[in-house]
Amino acid sequence: MSAVSQDTAVNTGRIARTFIYLLLLLFALFYLLPLYVMVVNSLKPLSEVTGGNMMALPQTWTLEAWKSAWSTAQIGVSPTGLEPYFLNSILMVVPAVAISTVIGALNGYVLTKWRFRYDTIVFGLMLFSCFIPFQIVLIPMAMVLGKLGLAGTVPGLVLVHVVYGIGFTTLYYRNYYATFPTELVRAAQIDGAGFFRIFWRILLPISGPITVVSVIWQFTNIWNDFLFGVSFGGTSQPMTAALNNLVQSSTGVKEYNVHFAGAIIAALPTLFVYIVAGRYFVRGLMAGSVKG
């Protein structure tokens, strides 16, 4: 190939990459447009939101909408701000994510390294639980929580999300551990290592990528859940239910700036988790996609 042909190919490649990057940038801007509208209008007084251009930058910058969304003004029998519900979400999400992740890791360990009769049927049933709609389990779950005395409490919400999340975490860890050589586990057994020692010393140290996947998936699903929170939360409802209460509490003119601020506040924890650990999410999923 001549030098002219090589230069032409290089230039063509550069033009193609530039076009692709510009197209991706356009899609990214279009995708982020709703977030821009929310952020900009949450920093405006209500008069600018209702009587001006929602795409324009604020003429008067203010955080009053954020303060109103976070405050605990009392209307009727329930507070309208997000502050008292934030702790409920934290107390619900942290133990639910931790417990479901640990149980999923143990299940994946057993289903790949300690095979037993009908283990594929057990895994199939757990996999089937991933496809059960939320609405189907509302009545039986309400009955169970009532019998256990956990209805309308944070521990009840923790139990609901742990039960519903075990199928997903088991799937992740099972596929991930299936790629790990079983011979190492057998060698550890010959050396006298028991069930939990093998799990703690051999499998758990290499489980970082899939643990990140499990934590991000569970954290996002549990934090953003609305149906279970409204149905079983009672006086211990999470942030998503509080956000709905915030919108419904507006009388007369809708306070869109407050609603935008509340939505951003409710989304900040999941956004933070993805910013910190999002780059490991796809890496962890791909790590368990080779076998299983």
Q: What pLDDT, on a 0 to 100 scale, did the predictor assign at position 77? A: 41
State the pLDDT confidence band at 6, using cuts at 50, 70 and 90. low
pLDDT at 129: 85
pLDDT of residue 26: 93
Q: Which of 227, 211, 230 is nearest to 219 (CA)?
A: 211
- What is the distance between the alpha carbons of residues 249 and 263, in angstroms, rounded to a whole number? 15
- Model confidence at 10: pLDDT above 90: no
**CATH 1.10.3720.10 domain position(s) in the chain:** 74-287
Class (C level, CATH) for 74-287: mainly alpha
In the predicted structure, residue 252 carries a pLDDT above the cut 70: no
pLDDT given for residue 74 in this prediction:
44
128 in Cβ contact with 171 (< 8 Å)? no
pTM of the model: 0.82
The predicted pLDDT at position 36 comes to: 92
pLDDT at residue 100 greater than cutoff 90: yes
**Crossing angle (nearest 10°) for helices 154-177 and 279-287:** 50
**How far are the Cα atoms of 68, 104, 213, 221 from residue 228, in angstroms, in the given order?**
26, 21, 22, 11
Q: How far is CA 24 from CA 30, 169, 231, in A?
A: 10, 33, 41
pLDDT at position 75 is 42
* CA–CA distance, 105 with 195 (Å, rounded to integer): 13
Residue 246 has which token pair? Answer: 């915030």
pLDDT of 72 above 60: no
CB 134 within 8 A of CB 69: no
Residue-level pLDDT at 46: 86
Whether 140 has a pLDDT exceeding 60, the answer reads: yes
Mean pLDDT of the chain: 84
pLDDT value at position 180?
A: 84
Look-up of token digits 């093998």: 198
Q: Which residues pair with 78 in a beta bridge?
A: 75
- Dist CA 222 CA 263 (whole Å): 16
